[in-house]
Amino acid sequence: MIPAARISAAIEVLADIETRRRPASDALKDWGLSHRFAGSKDRAAIASLVYDALRRKASASWLMGETTPRATLLGTLRTLRGLDVNAIAALCSGDRFAPEPLTAAERERLEAASLDGAPAHVAGDFPDWVEPSLRRLLGDNVIPEMTAMASRAPLDIRVNTLKAEREEAHQALVHLDMIETPLSPLGLRVPPGPDGRGPAVQAEPEFVKGWVEIQDEGSQIAAMLSGVESHEQVVDLCAGGGGKTLALAALMGNGGQIYATDSDARRLAPIHDRLQRAGVRNVQVRTPRGRNDDPVDDLDGRMGCVLVDAPCTGSGTWRRNPDTKWRVRPNSLESRLKEQQIVLDRASRLVRPGGRIVYITCSLLPEENDDALAAFLERNPGFTVVPPGDVAARGPEGFAERVRLTERGVQMTPLKTGTDGFFVSVLKRG
């Protein structure tokens, strides 16, 4: 496909996402199935255009003075791709498969329009209704922080120290042009390329052998902040596919015992193969056998650490999943808050005296972080918050100086720490 045809295809996919309010991945998959002539490079390029447009949807539309899929993509070519009006006009020639030529108004906007005077939610590319929440956390830094959240994310991997050391893995993957992550001593990173594409790490022999796992640097650090030790009894209460379970197992050197469970048995499905590939021997997977089954009820009052990777809006991952920020609604937040109450109260019953809950979200919203913990502490006065500064001190070298401390936890952000937006708090039972 010629570049102009890829532009047309991206506009078509954006229109489908807007009309049907569906995930970008579903719209891209359906487009590929109905356009089988498009090769893998074409599909990847179209996906990159779509995700870039979703990252900068608000600012691109403001620049163009319209909110149509075409306007959003044209504005993105100008703001994020850095194309000038003549380069964009060359792509929009109106020839076969190319978008229609630029109108006089479009050309004028591309030449002269700017984001000067744009509201914060436009300049920072986030839904306007979350601005009060974000300002509680970020204050006057809301625009630069959220602009960083609207940038492309790198591809991070965690070296599995049960099988390899970072230097060893780095040498084996030298052809991928990776660098060491700035903070995590376990991470390697592929910076985002010009087209937004990353390498197929899952196809590498080192991945198949279990040397590495794909995991954002912030998620790696969140596992480190749990402070798990090799002799401990641990429950990963919202284990899902097992990313943090595997990280904990490596930190514990296959010692102690981890019980991995989740309220949704389907989310646990990938964990078994991942544990085997990684050489993990200290994890017991507890799969619920029905809606009302509690597979860890025999562990109440016995656990030294309960990890709660809580359900949340995912606002901290918007640079990776930019379509989700435009689909989230206030009622979605309300639903997540109820789920957080349930899972925190369940965790409290598992913790032994002197033990702890490690509460993690991939959210920037105080309602899901400090506020959720305040409500929990009111319901459970036997727990206290470990000072956030002490939690941050458990992180890698240089982390405590870069992370943002809140009243009850530590908040990572792309601008401050170069990671996804993770929140971590530790609650100790008296």
Residue 189 lies in a domain: no
- Proportion of the chain above pLDDT 90, given as a percent: 90
Q: Are residues 227 and 107 in the same domain?
A: no
**Quick check: is 259 in a domain?**
yes
Band (pLDDT 50/70/90 cuts) for residue 192 is confident
List, for residues 361-370, the tens digit of each pLDDT value: 999 999 999 9
State residue 292's pLDDT score: 84
The answer to the question of residue 183 being in a domain is no
CATH number where 317 lies: 3.40.50.150
Q: 271 pLDDT exceeds 70? A: yes
At residue 388, the pLDDT reads: 98
pLDDT interval class at 198 (50, 70, 90): confident
In whole angstroms, give the CA distance from residue 48 to residue 160: 29
pLDDT at 196 > cutoff 70: no
Domain termination site, one of 85, 117, 149: 117
Pick from 117-126, 323-332, 359-368: least confident: 323-332
Q: Which residues are annotated as a binding site?
A: 262, 309
* CA separation for the pair 356, 294 (Å, rounded): 20
Same domain, yes or no, for 245 and 107?
no
* pLDDT surpassing 90 at residue 355: yes
Which residues fall in the annotated binding site for S-adenosyl-L-methionine?
262, 309
Q: Residue 310 falls within a domain, yes or no? A: yes
Q: Which of 117, 148, 171 is the last residue of a domain?
A: 117
Given a cut of 90, whether residue 124 has pLDDT beyond it is: yes
DSSP 274-306: HHHHHT--SEEEE--SSTT--TTGGGTT-EEEE
Choose one of 91, 117, 143: the last residue of a domain: 117
C-alpha to C-alpha distance for 77 and 42, rounded to whole angstroms: 17
Per-residue model confidence as pLDDT tens digits over 205-246: 999 999 999 999 999 999 999 999 999 999 999 999 999 999
Mean local confidence (pLDDT), 72-83: 92
Q: Report, as an integer, the average pLDDT of 347-365.
A: 97
45 within 8 A of 309, measured Cβ to Cβ: no
Q: How far apart are CA 115 and CA 121, in angstroms?
A: 11
Is the per-residue pLDDT at 195 higher than 70? no
Asked whether residue 127 is assigned to any structural domain, the reply reads: no
Residue 197 has pLDDT above 80, yes or no: no
pLDDT > 90? residue 194: no
- From 92, 238, 305, 362, the catalytic residue: 362
Tokens describing residue 209: 């052998």
Residue 156: its H or E element:
strand 155-159
User: What domain range includes position 259?
Assistant: 223-429
Rounded to the nearest integer, the mean pLDDT of the chain is 95
In a domain, 168, yes or no: no
Residue 418 · residue 217 · CB < 8 Å:
yes
pLDDT confidence of residue 81: 87
For residues 293 and 193, which has the higher predicted lDDT (pLDDT)? 293
Tokens read off for 282:
């200290």
The two structure tokens encoding residue 367: 């309602």
* Residue 182: alpha-carbon gap to chain centroid: 18
Q: 100 lies in a domain?
A: yes
- Letter for the amino acid at 355? G
List of residues 6+ apart from 165 with CB closer than 8 A: 159
Q: Are 430 and 384 in contact (CB under 8 A)?
A: yes
Task: Quote the CA–CA distance of 296 and 237 in Å, as a whole number.
Answer: 9
Active site residue 312: no
Residue 58 resides in a domain: yes
Total of domains in the chain: 2
Query: Does 113 score more than 80 pLDDT?
Result: yes
